[in-house]
């Protein structure tokens, strides 16, 4: 909201539009549903993590991949 100088309602609409576009893209080109947990090896909630912490988790997780 701050970066784009949007009010809350406009920001919600923008997020919904972006999510819908991403959902359609994945369905069209990958024949998949983005909400399907089978499509993901790892999910990280970055709400309380820095970029560096999230990246470290990803790098560490790679050692467990077959």
pLDDT tens, residue by residue, 4-51 = 999 999 999 999 999 999 999 999 999 999 899 999 999 999 999 999
Distance between CA atoms of 63 and 38, rounded to whole angstroms? 20
Burial 32-43 (b: 16+ CB within 10 A, else e): eeeeeeeeeeee
Distance between CA atoms of 43 and 34, rounded to whole angstroms? 12
pTM of structure: 0.60
Q: How far is CA 35 from CA 7, 20, 42, 43, 51, in A?
A: 27, 12, 13, 12, 23
């Amino acid at each position: 909201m701050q970066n784009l100088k949007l009010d809350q309602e406009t920001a919600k609409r923008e997020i919904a539009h972006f999510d819908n576009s991403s959902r359609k893209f994945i369905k069209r080109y990958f024949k998949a549903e983005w909400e399907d947990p089978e499509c993901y090896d790892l999910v990280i909630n970055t709400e309380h993590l820095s970029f560096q912490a999230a990246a470290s988790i990803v790098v560490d997780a790679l050692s467990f991949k077959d």
